Structure formats: structure tokens, C-alpha cells
A and B are shown apart, each in its own frame.
Chain A
């Protein structure tokens, strides 16, 4: 069913103006968002570039605070309560629950977002709460939640104890919840579901106990599983099995799917980065490249079948998930228009691929301190130096497990041709602690060894060279980024400021002090003819707009 006709038929079926106001037109998902922010990245491309120009270089100094919304988590007096766990004793104390890492959806004047076990609808004009949903948890790691997905009137989000929960956007009431993974096996779920057609795409995380990763498509009406793609082979003969020593290793091989992917409607492919192999920091029991962990994969969105893969970190032993956003870019390379995919990877390299077939176009280092690679193979893959795998007496490695960058969303500005990403340059010592031939869990300990600062980098996608960078001796690092056709780049500086840069040259144009560090990807939309900029910092959303 075409997106437009689906929307029309849902509208017809519901047939009410008030309900209409709560609905998402799926056609919005395929173009850069203007009067909506209908999916995690604003659109399917992952570029986080807005075509809006009302806020621009000439007036950015006149941005003013429209409102602040501070979340109150847990079972608040007005909360709609769901969940399988016990009634908690007192409010949640885990800082992850009170940190907004979600990029809120904005549909028809209402913002929808979530933190672990909590979801809200907030009036995008006034910043006032419309409803709050609270989930009673059975446990799991409450480190973060990237937000919600929307299909017509239905909302979807994932919980730390691995349920996919669907809410009615109109009321915040739960429609159903489905368990997607076992919390007792140390799975925990953080991604924002991505909706493509009638597929709700959900991944999961958790690498403490050597469990396999997967991505699932669920039916938005029933919640039933449509297909499931495992990120490592399950048995001998499956694609990629030759990159593992045995079935036991591959079935405990990790490869989590904890960051939302991107989608090309023309190629009908969903692009996803997968997490590290297990055991995490030692590879003795899993000799080989360990496909499809630490990989960028293209999946047929209707079947879940693998179309192609590229593996940025073969046989990873440093927790360098390749989960960072695969950003879809259309640009000319050598005079030929190309369909490209760019990723700033946790391992310290920037990768540019042909997204029709996964062939490498370019690999370039992003940080100077990197010391784990012996160079780049002809196919564009870095060549790991085995001497930098954890030893009992310790090896000094940069980047550390946190990586040169991490989950906070980068941005690509088609007008400058530059890819923007927050990076950090750190060292850690990796000590092998589990010398058993079959190590379990992480198998090694990591100790901080020093920090050389962070950078906001602008990478020329055609050369991989850094066109400009803004160095932070005391902050920076991976922070979410938004670019706009108003010739603006918005991000955080790690010192509780929201900052507007000139994306062409890195000049600072405007800043505002917040009560916490930027903790999500900034977004922008037009509402009542007025452009808003919304950011999450700690427990609050901040909305800025131009002075009237």
C-alpha cells in the first residue's frame, strides 16, 4: 500500500477531526521534515539537515527561549501506568531515566518522546504536558532511550526490560506490549523504533553475557513479528559462518542493534550498524572476522534478508560498535552522481560506501591519537594490529571502548558537502583478566589513561579530509548535531551551552547557556508559520524561536 493511500484510508476509517490532528502522514517520512519531525532522524536519510531557512545566519542572534519542559519521571499522580514489573518503591534514581536522549517526534503540534520507562506528549506551542505514560519495569540497564516511532495514530517505544510498547497518541493509553528479548539474559533495549511502510523496526542491546543480536519487524496493528534478522549466523552453512570457529561461538557472538537505522525508499533497503562481537574485549574463542558484528548492513525491509554488508571493525576486540548512524547522501564523486552512505565510526575512521552494493569509496582517519590499526586494506577495511588486543600486563589503546565518537547523531549538510561529527581523543589501558580458553562477558578490564580533548569536525565526504574543526580542550566529544539551509549548525559544547556555528567555516554565531549538557540530537520544525529549534539537555527540553 502506498503511503498516501494508507494515510487516506486510516483517516477515513477514523473519520474525526480531533483524531486527524493526532495522526502522522507517512508521506512526511520520505522528505526532509519542515512542519513536522516525524521520525527519529527527522526523515529516513539520517542527514539531520533541515531545509528551513526562517532562522538563519542573519537573525540567529535574535533566537529567544519559547519554553522549557522539565520531565517528572516514574509513577507521577497523573501518569498512565503499564508494565509487567512490581510497583516501584519511590521515584527512579538512575540518571539515565531522567536524561533526554530521544529526539522527540513533532506531529501536528504535539511532541512525543521517551526516556527509559517513561513517555510523554507535550504541546509543541506551549511546552505543557498532555499525557505521561510510566512503565513498571522488571529490570534491565536504564542507560538511555532514543525515543518513539509513529504509524498513523499509534506510537511505539522500547523499554529497558525489552518490551515493544504501543500507545494511542490521542490518549497515551497502551494498546499492547510485546516482549522482544529476555532481560535475564542481560538484554536491554534503547533504540527508537523506525517505521517503514507497515513495518515497526526494533533492535536491542546488551553485551554483558554473550547473547546474540537481532533486528525485528513488527506489525503496527497486532505487534506480531513479521521477520527477524540475526546479526550473526545461527548454524554452519548460514551466511558468514566461515568467519566464526564454531556454532557455539557464533550463537554467543553479540552484534547488538541499539541505534535506529536509515532507509532508502528507492532501493527498498534499511541500513543498520551492528554492535561488537562477544566476548567483548578478547577474541580467543571467536577467531575470524565475526560477521555480521561491527558491520554496516543493508536489509530488504520487507523480508529482513541481507542485501550487502561492510565491516568497519573485523574481529573487534575493543567494543567499537559500528552502530553509529549510517547517513544516506546523494553526491557526485568524480563527476558521477552516486548513492552513498557515510558513517563516522566509533573505531576512529570515517567510511564512505556505495549504498547500492556496500563497496567502499573512501576510508579516512578522524582522530590523530588512533593507534590500533596497521593501515587500510584494498577493500577499505582497517587492518587491526593484534598487538593492541588486551594482554594481562596491559596495552595502551586509542580510542578507548567509548570510541572516537558514539551514538549522538551526526549531520550532513548537502549545501556545504561536509559531514559533521563530534569526536574525542582518549587513551585507555586494556588488561586481559579472563585467561580461560573460553572467556565470558568482557574478559578484560579497561582503565582510563588520558584525554587529549574533543573536536567538532567537518569532514569533506569526497576526500575524507577535515575541512575545519573546533577543538575543545575540556569538553566536546560526541554530541548531537543539526544543520539547516539557514546556513546554521546547532550542537552542544560539553559545557552546558547550545551553540550555533557557521557550517562553512566553524565560526561561532550564537550560544545559549542551559542547565545541563546537550543530551540528544537537536531538531527544528515549522509550527504556525514559525520555526522552532528544540533540544534536550538532561531532564529538560528547551524550545527556541525568533523574537516576534
Chain B
């Protein structure tokens, strides 16, 4: 909680489950931007690689019938700008059946950049590209929307959801239907939006309603719509604290959806153009 406001963290906790103590391999904890490789050089390297090396090592460099996977190769991982792989390319490995390739220095650098960029793409899981997710049945989605999903009790396809299929990419749409309290726009770091309000009622009957700034077992603090800040100590004797999440129904649905329900709903929402 270094730079973010407490309220944002609270909302993040409430709505997205950004764990306070995240795990070693958590995607939540960033390990900094991965190195970048000149895209023009990478593209040139790809062409050179596919033409000369792909027959043995596979066009993705993940290995082929004769040549090993180069994305997991320690020689490639140790390489910097072709210094290590250059001699291998130029001299070949006749004992293993690899011929010599008379690449220019630039070609070697390009192939090295292509390989390192491919490794970066395998490692950089925060930027994996999600593929086609519209696989469901829109008719079944409509039935679910109006029936067991009870979506129609709050939403209308001719009202608030009109045109959502044109407004959002399918991945965004699926993310929003599961977790509408989260901004899912691709390319922008996902961030929570506020859906919680809290009402504190004092023994005198006086009450305050606003966005929670802090809410735990010992204190409650809120900001009223006009910006006024109030905080209260919590004890066994009160005050009474009521929490309202206007998107609670979406949280409740997480334990009820089947994956087919989600895919069908997404397919249906995509048609709302």
C-alpha cells in the first residue's frame, strides 16, 4: 500500500481479490518489463530462420525432426547478440548433423533477436494473447439470460446492454460479465471500479452512507458523495455497519455458472450489436 490510495486498495480487495500476500508465482506481482528486441530485426531473423533453420528446428524454433528445441537451449539462453550462437551457425555441428550456414553478421544478430524474442514471448505470461473465445451457442445464451441466469432481472438487451457486442471485444465482454467491477479494456492495465457502499448507523440513530475508505474489524471510514470523510471505531456495541455491493449478484453467480453457461452468454452478448 505504498502509492495507491487506501480506498482503491479496499475496492481492489473487495472486487478483484488482489491478495494481500500473493504467491511466488502469482501473475499479480510484476517482475518488471521484459527486454525488448528490435521488431524489424526480429522479423528479418524470422524469415532467415524459417528459410534456413526451420526444416530441422521447426518454424517456431521449438524443435523438429532433426534439430532440438532452441527456445529451451542453454546455448541460446546464454547468448548475447549472436556471440554464442554465431560460431555454431558459421561452423555447424557436423558431429550432430548440423551443416554450416554462411550467415552475415547482421543475419546472425537477426536470428539471435528472433530466438530471444520468441523466448521472451513464452516467458511473458502477462502478455499472452487470448485466442477466439466465441464458441458458445447464442440461442442457449439468450435462454440462460432470460431464464436461470436471471440476468434479465437487472439488465435489458434493448436498454443498458444495447450494442455491447459492438462496443467491446469478446474477451472484454466475457471478463465484464464475470466481473463487471473490473475494467477489462485490453491494452490498459485492468483496474477495479467502485461498486461498494457502506452505511454506518450510530446508537443515536444518525447514519452516514458513502464509499468505504477503510473497513476492517476495528475501524470503518467512508467518504460521502459530497466528499466529506467520516471514520468510526468499531466495538461489540456498534455502530451498526451495513455493506451494500450493487454487483453482489455477479459474485453469487460465480458458484453457479457452468463453463458452457459462460460461453453461451458470451456468444449471445456478442450478437448485441
Q: Which chain A positions have C-beta within 8 A of B98?
A: none
B63 CB–A CB distance under 8 Å: yes
Question: Is there an interface contact between A451 and B74, defined as CB atoms closer than 8 Å?
Answer: no
What is the CA–CA distance of A346 and B175 in the complex, to the nearest angstrom?
24
> Among A186, A407, A449, which residue has its beta carbon within 8 angstroms of that of B123?
A186
Stretch at the interface among A119-127, A193-201, A326-334, A488-496: A488-496
- The answer to whether B23 and A209 have CB atoms under 8 Å apart is no
Asked whether A129 is an interface residue with its Cβ less than 8 Å from the other chain, the reply is: no
Instruction: Write out the residue numbers on chain B whose beta carbons fall within 8 Å of the beta carbon of A142.
Output: 31
Contact status B21-A94, CB under 8 Å = no
Contacting residue for A184 out of B78, B131, B215, B251, CB 8 A: B78
The 0/1 profile, CB within 8 Å of A marked 1, for residues 1-33 of chain B is: 110000000100111111111111111110110
Judge whether A474 and B13 touch: CB under 8 Å. Answer: yes
Pick 29 A–B contacts, CB within 8 A, sort by A: A96-B29, A182-B77, A185-B74, A190-B24, A205-B24, A209-B123, A393-B135, A393-B136, A393-B266, A396-B262, A401-B27, A406-B22, A407-B24, A426-B19, A427-B254, A429-B175, A438-B63, A442-B128, A447-B184, A448-B179, A451-B16, A451-B18, A474-B14, A475-B13, A475-B20, A477-B20, A493-B217, A496-B1, A517-B1
Verify if B62 is at the interface (C-beta below 8 Å from A): yes
Q: When the two chains form their complex, are residues B22 and A431 in contact, meaning their CB atoms are under 8 A apart?
A: no
Contact B259 A517 (CB under 8 A): no
Q: Are B216 and A448 in contact (CB under 8 A)?
A: no
**B161 in contact (CB, < 8 A):** no
Residues of A with C-beta under 8 A to B71: 440
| Interface status of B182 (Cβ within 8 A of chain A) | yes
Q: Which one of B17, B22, B190, B262 has the highest number of Cβ atoms from chain A below 10 Å of its Cβ?
A: B17
| Bound Cα distance from A111 to B173, whole angstroms | 52
| Nearest A-chain residue to B26, judged by Cβ | A402
Most B C-beta atoms less than 10 A away, residue of A401, A402, A406, A422: A402
Q: What residues on A are CB-neighbors of B190 within 8 Å?
A: 447-448
Instruction: Tell me if A57 is interfacial: C-beta within 8 Å of chain B.
Output: no
**B122 contacts chain A at the CB level, 8 A cutoff:** yes
**Interfacial residues, chain A to chain B (CB-CB below 8 A):** 94-96, 141-144, 182, 184-186, 190, 205, 207-210, 248, 252, 258, 275-276, 280, 319, 321, 323, 346, 368-369, 371, 387, 391-396, 398, 400-403, 406-408, 422, 424, 426-427, 429, 431-436, 438, 440-442, 444-452, 454, 472-479, 492-497, 499, 508, 511, 513, 516-517, 519
Residue B257 interfacial (CB < 8 Å) = yes
Inter-chain CA distance A438–B119, complex, in Å, is: 14
Query: Smallest CB–CB gap between B78 and chain A, Å?
Result: 6
Q: For the complex, what is the distance from the CA of A473 to the CA of B251, rounded to whole Å? A: 12
Contact call B19/A424, Cβ cutoff below 8 A = yes
The prevalent SS among residues of A at the interface is loop
> Please, which residues of chain B bring their CB within 8 A of the CB of A319?
25
B179 touches A449 (CB 8 A): yes
Neighbouring B residues of A513 by C-beta, 8 Å: 218
Given A182-B77, A473-B215; 8 other pairs, CB 8 A cutoff: A143-B29, A184-B74, A394-B130, A440-B71, A441-B123, A449-B254, A478-B23, A513-B218
A392 touches B122 (CB 8 A): no
Which chain A residue has the least Cβ–Cβ distance from B68?
Answer: A248
- Measured between beta carbons, the chain B residues less than 8 angstroms from A441 are 122-123, 125
Smallest CB gap from A319: residue in B:
B25
B13 touching A494 by the CB < 8 A rule?
yes
Query: Which residue from A141, A209, A401, A450 sits with its C-beta under 8 Å from B254?
Result: A450
* Residues of B close to A438: CB separation below 8 A: 62-63, 69
In the assembled complex, the CB of A65 is this many whole angstroms from the nearest CB of chain B, namely: 17
Using an 8 Å CB-CB cutoff, how does the interface string of B211-240 with A read, 1 for contact, 0 for none?
Answer: 000111110000000000000000000000
Looking at the assembled complex, report how far the CB atom of B252 sits from the nearest CB atom of chain A, in whole angstroms.
9
Closest to B20 in A: A494
Minimum CB distance partner of A368 in chain B: B255
Q: Are A446's CB and B24's CB within 8 A?
A: no
A367 to chain B, nearest CB (A): 11
Identify which of A275, A394, A450 contacts B250 (C-beta below 8 A): A450
Contact B178 A508, beta carbon cutoff 8 Å: no
Bound CA span A321–B25, Å: 9
Contact A208 B60 (CB under 8 A): no
